Amino acid sequence: MSLTVKSQAATAPFVVAFADGDMSMSDLMGGKGANLAEMTRIGLPVPHGFTITTAACRHYLTLGREPEDLDRQVGIHLAQLESMTGRQLGNPADPLLVSVRSGAKRSMPGMMETVLNVGLTDAVIPGLIARGGERFAWDCYRRLVQMYGRTVLGVDGELFEVALVAARREAGVVSDTELDAASLKKLTTDFRRTLVTAVGEDLPQDPREQIRRTIDAVFASWNVPRAMTYRKHQGIGDDAGTAVNIVEMVYGNTGPASGSGVCFTRDPSTGEPGVYGDYLPNAQGEDVVNGSRTPLPLQDLADHAPAVYQQLMGHLRTLETHYRDLCDVEFTVEDGTLWVLQTRVGKRSPAAAFTVASAMVSEGLIDLDEALRRVDGYQLESLLHPRFMSAEGELLLATGLAASPGAAVGEVVFDAQTAVSQAAEGRDVVLMRTETSADDVGGMLAAVAIVTARGGRTSHAAVVARGIGRTCVAGVDGLVIDLDARTAACPGGSIKEGDTISVDGTTGKIFRGALAVRQSQVAELLEKQADDGSDAEQAEQAEPVAGSLAAAVLQLLAHADHRRLIGVRANAETSPDALRARRLGAEGIGLCRTEHMLLGERAVLVEHMVLGDESDRAAALADIEELAHTDFLDILRAMDGLPVVVRLLDPPLHEFLPDLTELSVEVALNNAPGGTPDPQAALRLDGVRRWHEGNPMLGLRGVRLLTVVPELIEAQVRALATATLELRTAGMDPHPELMVPLVADPAELTAAAARMRGAIESACVADGTTLKIPIGVMIELPRAALTADRLALDADFFSFGTNDLTQTTWGMSRDDAEGAFLAEYRESGLLDVDPFMTLDDVGVGRLVRIAVEEGRRARPDLGLGVCGEHAGDPISIRRLVSIGVDYVSCSPPRVPIARLEGGRAVVLAESQSTP
């Protein structure tokens, strides 16, 4: 950890009274302290107190000791606290006790420490008995010993639990609340013996020593493992530190007229109106949140103490109106008097995030821009995919990387051909492979889910699955597939082909058997709205809860569309995918990968073109052109009136040719004694050896293949031109664009563009008309980005292929890196995020920025798009908007996410620039 401590003269204050703070001071006072100060300021019943600031914590974490002046400042504020409460620390007649609570700027519930009843000693027990009775006093004391022992002295909490169980057994009761005063007094003594036995130290009998050591323990809890793990998961920096709040104790455990509770101003699961919470009579706040007792519904407080309940409802309305958000509130009732102990903006489900934001717009609490700031693309993505109703109690077979979200149930198959044939019979299948390749795409399309033993979130399986909207779990730990036996072994047992499994692409878990699936009503209603023109109000009337959520999503997407400056297109090669993308709001196709049109049974055409003789090549090219013509007609028709960017053939050649090893074995067996020589197989082997490459991803592909086999350019471009002219004649409005892949030098683009223009012209001559198709270049090599000014002279647009640009910039294979070392890099802190999932702004992002600036300088009207995986990632989209691209193009299922984040990028940037 790297923490910087400036001179005390330059630091912020170390202690701030609640009366001197407000909600804007969360950097200094932490979220809890700032909110306690704010509630004090607006007149809510908050116990008196003060905050030791995050500046003091950072000093402690860096130097291992408190700031020199902290003890004096705390002493001053404790004296003020004594004056305000009329009680004194250590006063036997009427003692002041305090709670010492952690409170970081961002809420980290349960991750750091709290100690209650601090200041309680043997000497003040009589005063506490006078205040609330003997049972109350000893209950407070045993809680302090237990919490102080665990938090400050590091005693194993299980030792206290063992003593509690023994006390209940001895008293013949079930719960702690049934223990009488004598039992609690004995338990306190037992707890103190536990301290001495475990660490050789008893509870200090000086209240100020208790406070001082508890403060240090709360500071130190910033770096306990659970807190560090939580911060890493939530993206919270390690250098912020926590504040410590010293608060006058109020007691929910004085008897039946007292209690504690936690509530929300709206349902945090659905966002629907109505108070949602729990209450425990005769309990301190920790009892509600630590699960030691089963709480009662908040309505029980209304029945038990209606006046207190009505007062609480008023405070909740005040807080939600003041904070203009869903609030999470902790409270205590002491002998019929209500105290508010904490509030914060409540954590909520993705569904509640959209519902609450939309509702607060309708209620006039926030505007639509603020509503956009309160939701994000990750939340929306979780709402667009099916989920399992519950996996509790189900047999877990294995766990891998959550590569493509969703939930799917099907029968296991181990190869693409079986997947296709069984799916054709109407069966749901899960394609399980060691890893996938281009040959498996047909099976992936046929399957409801894909599972692989190898690979990561940016592997072939993951990228294709996300692109086609299939559930996928990749890199499954311990999964070993035996293709000969048609079985697989995994940590949870063996799997036979035909077994039914359930695949959760959101969590990465795989279960045996069929789990119940809950479809995404939001996704269904979004597409239905596009199909039949139904509006959000109709959706809400049709299905109250899901409808109101869909109405909220539709409302915020519409506002995002209104605010965003960036276009949103989709990556698609088939008319069904194109039509779905259009229904989800896509404004065109930003990437139509023509090699995907040649997979499956068509792959043999590429083989014939490369390995065959002149007649084979001519026939293959004719077939490729005819098939491309039909495919282009379908996709241009589906996107009538919208742009369609067609990328020329860009296959790593090995994906279309026979496997060298398998073919070598076949020929060797044919030529072995007893075999039958096959001259055709031997010729194929010679051809494959001739074209074989050690690193095909950086070999003969893209513009290089088109240069070596230029007839491919002419066939594909003629097919696109003739399809465009045919649709024009039919009265449609096609807008094709052509893109050249893997260009490293302007000369490559110039040569390819000349051939493309020639092919377009020849199609026009035959048709007796003219046609202008924009020609652009895919920027996926660092050299292309660094020579953008020269490339722009012969390009109508750039499209950044950030998948390959990331690979070539980082010098790592996306298919191999995650399974090999990226996880270790992230775990050790060498990388904060996977660069294949979120755009590396420092390296790859800088190359994109350079290309954008230099390309536009050379050609001001240059079109700029992005079509890699990053085009559907919320954080990456915001970065791309700031760079200044014109559009992003993502897989169809992620189109709504890109639309939302495009609008959010604008409103977030505006809020950050506002003083």
* Catalytic residue IDs: 460, 867
Q: How are strands ordered across the β-sheet holding 327-334?
A: 296-297, 273-281, 259-266, 327-334, 337-345
- Cα distance between residue 11 and residue 7, in whole Å: 7
Instruction: Compute CA distances 297 → 335, 475, 489, whole Å.
Output: 20, 43, 47
The 3-class secondary structure across 113-131, one letter per residue, is CEEEEECCCHHHHHHHHHH
Nearby residues of 829 by Cβ (< 8 Å), 6 or more positions away: none
DSSP 3-state of 137: helix
Is the Cβ–Cβ distance between 260 and 332 less than 8 Å? yes
Position of tokens 């050299």? 783
DSSP states of 879-915 = HHHHHT-SEEEE-GGGHHHHHHHHHHHHHHHHHHH--
Buried b / exposed e over 104-142, threshold 16 CB at 10 Å, is bbebbeebbbbbbbbbbbeebbebbeebbebbbbbbbbb
- Cα distance between residue 483 and residue 414, in whole Å: 7
Tokens of 180: 């009488």
Tokens of 235: 């993206």
For residue 341, which phi and psi values (nearest 5 degrees)? -100, -20
DSSP 3-state of 378: helix
- What single-letter amino acid sits at 129? I
Position of tokens 């399980």? 432
DSSP states of 201-232 = -PPPS-HHHHHHHHHHHHHHGGGSHHHHHHHH
- Cα distance between residue 431 and residue 448, in whole Å: 8
- Cα distance between residue 176 and residue 161, in whole Å: 11
Tokens of 520: 């995404």
For residue 388, which phi and psi values (nearest 5 degrees)? -75, 145
778 forms bridges with which residues in the sheet?
A: 799
On the CB side of 407, CA atoms within 13 Å amount to 19
Is the Cβ–Cβ distance between 305 and 335 less than 8 Å? no
Number of other residues whose CB lies within 10 A of the CB of residue 770? 10
Buried b / exposed e over 521-533, threshold 16 CB at 10 Å, is bbbebbebbeeee
Tokens of 61: 């974490």
- Cα distance between residue 33 and residue 13, in whole Å: 14
Is the Cβ–Cβ distance between 387 and 502 less than 8 Å? no
Nearby residues of 9 by Cβ (< 8 Å), 6 or more positions away: none
- What single-letter amino acid sits at 204? P
* 209 CB burial (10 A radius; 0-12, 13-18, 19+): exposed
Instruction: Compute CA distances 254 → 293, 308, 426, whole Å.
Output: 17, 16, 66
First to last CA, the chain: 31
The closest of 164, 192, 161, 188 to 178, measured between CA atoms, is 164
The closest of 703, 698, 763, 707 to 736, measured between CA atoms, is 763
Is the Cβ–Cβ distance between 563 and 583 less than 8 Å? no
Task: Residue count of the chain, please give it.
Answer: 915
The closest of 241, 243, 237, 235 to 222, measured between CA atoms, is 241
